[in-house]
Chains A and B, each alone.
Chain A
Amino acid sequence: MIPEIGQFALIIALCLAIVQGIFPILGAQLNIRPWMAMARPVAQGQFIFIAISFACLVYSFVTDDYSVLYTASHSNSLLPVQYKVAGVWGGHEGSLLLWAMMLGLWTFLVTLFSKNLPDEMVARVIGVLGLIAVGFLLFLLLTSNPFERLLPAAPDGRDLNPLLQDFGLIIHPPMLYMGYVGFSVAFAFAIAALIGGRLDAAWARWSRPWTIIAWSFLAGGIGLGSWWAYYELGWGGWWFWDPVENASLMPWLVGTALIHSLAVTEKRGAFKRWTVLLAIIAFSLSLLGTFLVRSGVITSVHAFATDPERGTFILGFLILVVVGSLLLYAWRAPKIGEGGKFELVSKETMLLVNNVILAVMSAAVLLGTIYPMIIEGLASVGLIDAVNKVSVGAPYFNAIFVPLLVPLVFLVGMGPLARWKKADMPDMVRQLRWAFIASAIFAVVMPFLMGGWSWMAALGMVLAAWIVTTAIYSLRARFKATNAELPWGHRLNAIPRSFYGMHLAHIGVAVCIVGATMVSNYMSDKDVRMDIGDTVTVGGYTFRFDGVIETKGPNYTANRGLIRVLQDGREVMTMEPEKRVYTVQTMPMTEAAIDTGIWRDLYVSLGEPVSGGAWSVRVYHKPFVSWLWTGVILMVLGGVVAMSDKRYRVMARKEKKAKAEAKIATPKLATEKA
């Protein structure tokens, strides 16, 4: 019964989404007030029904209802309850339902926090979100129905993939999807602006908070995914340039460009067309990611079980959305004015060079990810020999990414200090000379402190130090510019939160760079065969193998290794890596033992038993690896802090002024273009 209710709720949600997608937009075009007013309630209704549907699926998991095919494929009665809930999004159909629910949630939030937007804009934004929802709900109902029945019901489920039976599954997908889907709001704002033919600084101010939160969620989601892979997969890798990882990185890079571009559009009314295009591209990349991951065109450990029918549907939907929005862009963009002018050396220019670099990074990731497919495609029509098929792995992406990162980080230091319209370069150089010198010294000293010279390590250090020193300088300069007569608490408060948020996020980048650089250049590991009592020394710690015992978990049996760790002859801790075999899927799985520290992680992974009671063991010393996740946390915090800037809350007042000025000034610019 409940699964049928779930399916029925989806159908109702689809109907509501269709209404939501059509009437408000038409209403805005034809100025029919009741149709525009429909937008909020219909959207809220749609969310409620998707939520009901989702709840029904959770119910079937939690009550072990194996007459539902999806539940039988991804759950098991022995599965701990938190994984039964998380298992709802452990497979294709369920995760798609999660996507749809996130979309409903974001739309719901838009209905709540859009009181000071003009009615036509609200109607159009909610309408576009409704059209997207129609696509996803159709996809669910036509090709990926999570409520499909399995008759006769299975006696027990096939169990959730052991790799997913982990805390990571509970948090990573929801956060990631909040990010992916969040960019649909920025997209909807862009489309609404194109349809309305009006794009101004006010539009940028409305879009900005939504874009920043989506960006923060996506950053958090990607960071969580990286951290999860690190401790779960057993060899301590944290980024593999896997197609699915790339699928999440691309919209994030473009999203970063979008945040910066929105700043230019908001402050100076410039580069509006570029900003709108970026918003379209960011969401398109989100959709593209969905396509890559669920269609079978790329291989990945993360890829969902595929089906040519599903792949075709998503591609069709992707083409519809992107071609539609790019056609709209091509048609309407010329009507949008150009905006202010500025010098070659100015804050605007620096922000736009930032955009170019981020866009190129994203394009490079895309190119590398689909290149094998391009070659195979060309070969299949005979243009080149099939043997030319290449695989594009980490070495390529690292080779492209790092050179692009250098100029980008350089700008991170300069940008905040530069003035709008015309920056005083000589003055900036003078202000930042100490930051530059300090960074250079740091870059030369650190590698030696870590154990040996490395050009890559020095590069990473100079980049990270540059960000931090320029941030300190900028914060200090800003503080000094506040009213010296006030107590310092008030002075700190006088500085807008978006300023703090910006530097916090930038420092987060620096922390990530330190983590990545150190762990890549100074990690040491040994892959050894250990008999009882054998020792191995890595990174200044001695690891002694004290045997393996058998243990049991709720739905698995395990061999647990006992590794005593000694430092300077003294025993400091015991690490217990496990090799588990899950009862249902009988897949062997490694649970590495990790000791996390500020300066290093110790990572021990149990391999295979070899002759004579010995085991192969891999021991790692990973310096600064926890800085990677810390950096991401700082970035997310930076976004949240920036978003809480009261300027966005006092939107109403400022925007009346902007509206008034815009009404007067715009007609002139519009006719200029024509």
Chain B
Amino acid sequence: MKNILLAALLCLSFPLSYQVQAKEAEYTTGAPEIHGRVMGVSEELRCLVCQGQSLADSNSEFAVDMRAQIQEMMEGGMNDRQVVDFMVERYGDYVRYRPPFKATTMLLWFGPFILLGIGVAVLYTNILRRRKQVDETPLTEEQHRRAAELLKQDSGENKA
């Protein structure tokens, strides 16, 4: 009896629910402005349980939880910088997806450009030095004649 009643109720509720459907889907992370900021900050933070993804890209439980917490913090009034600092305080620099600018990362950030400078400088000095040192002597008459002879010899062998 109860079941029939339940079934009847369900049937009745259907037309009602249909009217409420077919809407513009809503974001999984809150209002559009906050959503943009959440994703922006998430792109700067690393998902610690994934291998190599940012919090924005990952769909792991950890990332989803973290994004939810970031959203809460932003809705509570924290700005982007504060959210990142909050995370770094608790997880260390490792959680930053972009390596920070510190004494220990100077080599990382400046290394390539220093190397570029050295490379160009070495190339420059090498070219200049080579201009003075290496003396290209064109083949002399004698050498040309010998070369022609050798070539005739070789092609003669080849024809056989």
Q: Are A400 and B112 in contact (CB under 8 A)?
A: yes
Is B21 in contact with A356, judged by CB distance below 8 angstroms?
no
Interface residues of A in 613-643 (CB under 8 A from B): 616-617
Residue A352 contacts which of B111, B116, B123 (CB distance < 8 angstroms)? B123
Complex interface bits, B22-33 against A, C-beta within 8 A gives 1, otherwise 0: 111111110000
Which B residues lie within 8 Å of A531 (CB)?
21, 23, 25
> Which of A340, A368, A393, A532 has the most B CB atoms < 10 Å from its CB?
A393
Beta-carbon contact of A388 and B102 below 8 Å: yes
| Pair B154/A656 contact, Cβ less than 8 Å | yes
Cβ-defined contact, A357 with B51, below 8 A: no
Q: Beyond A371-B105, A393-B52: 11 further Cβ-contacts under 8 Å?
A: A235-B59, A299-B51, A300-B51, A342-B127, A356-B116, A364-B112, A388-B104, A389-B92, A396-B98, A536-B24, A536-B25
Decide if B147 touches A390 in the complex (CB within 8 Å): no
User: Known contacts A344-B127, A534-B24; is A607 also within 8 Å of B59 by CB?
Assistant: yes
**8 A Cβ contacts from B129-156 to A:** 130-131, 133-137, 139, 143, 146-147, 150-151, 154-155
Q: Judge whether A529 and B28 touch: CB under 8 Å.
A: yes
Report Cα–Cα, A74/B104, bound state, in Å.
42
Q: Mark B87-104, 1 if CB is under 8 A from A, else 0.
A: 000001111111110101
Q: Chain A interface (Cβ within 8 Å of chain B)?
A: 234-235, 237, 240-243, 299-301, 303, 338-344, 349, 352-353, 356-357, 359-361, 363-364, 367-368, 371, 375, 384, 387-396, 399-400, 404, 526-537, 545, 607, 616-617, 656-657, 660-661, 663-665, 668, 672
> What are 20 A-B contacts with C-beta separation under 8 Å?
A235-B57, A242-B51, A301-B50, A301-B52, A338-B130, A340-B136, A343-B131, A368-B108, A388-B93, A390-B93, A390-B94, A527-B27, A529-B25, A529-B27, A531-B21, A534-B24, A535-B22, A535-B25, A656-B151, A664-B139
In the complex, the answer to whether A528 meets B123 with C-beta atoms within 8 Å is no
Residue of B nearest to A668 (CB): B137
Q: How far is the CA of A595 from the CA of B15 in the complex (A)?
A: 35
Q: Is B80 an interface residue (CB 8 A)?
A: no
Expressed in whole angstroms, the minimum distance between the Cβ of B76 and any Cβ of chain A is 22
Q: Report Cα–Cα, A237/B58, bound state, in Å.
A: 11
Q: Which residue of B lies closest to A619 (CB)?
A: B25
Residue ID in chain B nearest A536 by CB atoms: B25
Chain A residues contacting B24 (CB-CB under 8 Å) are 534-537
Contacts of A344 in B (CB 8 A): 124, 127-128
A527 to B29 CA separation, bound complex (whole angstroms): 8
In angstroms, Cα B102 to Cα A371, docked, is: 14
Least CB separation from B143: chain A residue: A664
Chain A positions within 8 Å of B21 at CB level = 531-534
Q: How far is the CA of A299 from the CA of B47 in the complex (A)?
A: 13
Whether B147 lies near A240 (C-beta < 8 A) is no
B54 cross-chain contacts in A, Cβ below 8 A: 393-394
Number of A-B contacts (CB under 8 A): 169
Contact B44 A384 (CB under 8 A): no
Contact among B22, B53, B116 with A533 in the assembled complex (CB-CB below 8 Å): B22
Q: How far is the CA of A400 from the CA of B51 in the complex (A)?
A: 22
A629 to B79 CA separation, bound complex (whole angstroms) = 39
Q: Which residues in A have their C-beta under 8 angstroms from that of B135? A: 672
Measured CB to CB, the closest approach of chain B to A360, in angstroms, equals: 5
Q: Do A396 and B108 touch across chains, with their CB atoms under 8 A apart?
A: yes
With A356-B123, A396-B98 in contact, do A390 and B104 touch (Cβ < 8 Å)?
A: yes
CA A368 to CA B151, docked complex, whole Å: 53
When the two chains form their complex, are residues A528 and B154 in contact, meaning their CB atoms are under 8 A apart? no
* In the complex, chain B residues whose CB is within 8 Å of the CB of A404: 112, 116
A118, B107: Cα distance in complex, Å: 46
Chain A neighbourhood of B8, CB < 8 A:
none
Contact of A360 among B105, B116, B137, B155 (CB under 8 A): B116
Most buried by A among B29, B112, B116: B112
Nearest-neighbour CB distance to chain B for A365, whole angstroms, equals 9
Asked if B108 and A341 make an inter-chain contact with CB atoms under 8 angstroms apart, the answer reads: no
Q: Chain A residues with Cβ under 8 A from B96's Cβ?
A: 390-391
Given contacts A360-B112, A367-B111, contact A338 B25 (CB under 8 A): no
Closest to A390 in B: B99
Q: Which residue of B lies closest to A527 (CB)?
A: B28
Could you tell me the distance between the alpha carbons of A384 and B107 in the complex, rounded to whole angstroms?
14
CB-CB under 8 A from B105, the residues of chain A are 371, 390
Distance A367 CA – B28 CA, assembled complex (angstroms): 38
A660-B97 contact given A340-B136, A341-B131, CB 8 Å threshold: no
A242 to chain B, nearest CB (A): 5
Contact call A338/B133, Cβ cutoff below 8 A: yes
Residue of A nearest to B48 (CB): A391
Complex CA gap A672/B130 in Å reads: 13
**Would you call B115 an interface residue if the criterion is a C-beta within 8 Å of the partner chain's C-beta atoms?**
yes
Known: A363-B115, A384-B104, A391-B94. Contact between A530 and B25, CB under 8 A?
Answer: yes
CB <8 Å contact, B108 and A367 = yes
- Taking the nearest CB of chain A, how far is it from the CB of B51, in angstroms? 5
**B120 CB-CB contact with A under 8 Å:** yes
Once bound together, how far apart are the Cα atoms of A668 and B134, in whole Å? Answer: 11
Report if B77 contacts A (CB, 8 A). no
Report the minimal beta-carbon distance from B111 to chain A, rounded to whole angstroms: 6
Expressed in whole angstroms, the Cα–Cα distance for A339 and B129 within the complex equals: 12
For A353, list chain B residues within 8 Å (CB). 120, 123
- Whether the Cβ atoms of B133 and A367 lie closer than 8 Å is no
The residue in chain B whose Cβ has the minimal distance to the Cβ of A374 is: B107
Q: Tell me, in angstroms, the Cα distance from A647 to B134 when the chains sit together.
A: 29
Q: With A and B bound together, what is the CA distance between A438 and B137 in angstroms?
A: 44
| B27 interface neighbour in A357, A359, A528, Cβ under 8 Å | A528
Contacting A at CB under 8 A, from B111-126, are: 111-112, 115-116, 119-120, 123-124
A367 and B105 CA atoms in complex are apart in Å by 11
Closest to B116 in A: A360
Query: Which residues in B have their C-beta under 8 angstroms from that of A363?
Result: 111-112, 115
Q: How far is A611 from B66 in the complex, measured between Cα atoms in Å?
A: 21
Residues of A within 8 A of B28 (CB): 527-529, 607, 616
| Minimum Cβ distance to chain A for residue B159 (Å) | 12
B23 and A534 contact, CB distance less than 8 A: yes
Complex Cα distance A404/B134, Å? 32
Taking the nearest CB of chain B, how far is it from the CB of A225, in angstroms?
Answer: 14
Contact check, B26 vs A529: say whether CB atoms are below 8 A apart.
yes
Contact with A along B2-37 (1 / 0, CB 8 A): 000000000000000000011111111100000000
Give Cα distance in the complex from A387 to B104, angstroms: 11
CB-based nearest A residue for B124: A344
Q: Which residue of A lies closest to B58 (CB)?
A: A235
Contact partners of A349 in chain B: CB under 8 A: 123, 127
CB distance from B71 to the nearest CB of A (A): 12
Residue of A360, A375, A394, A657 contacting most chain B CB atoms (<10 Å): A360
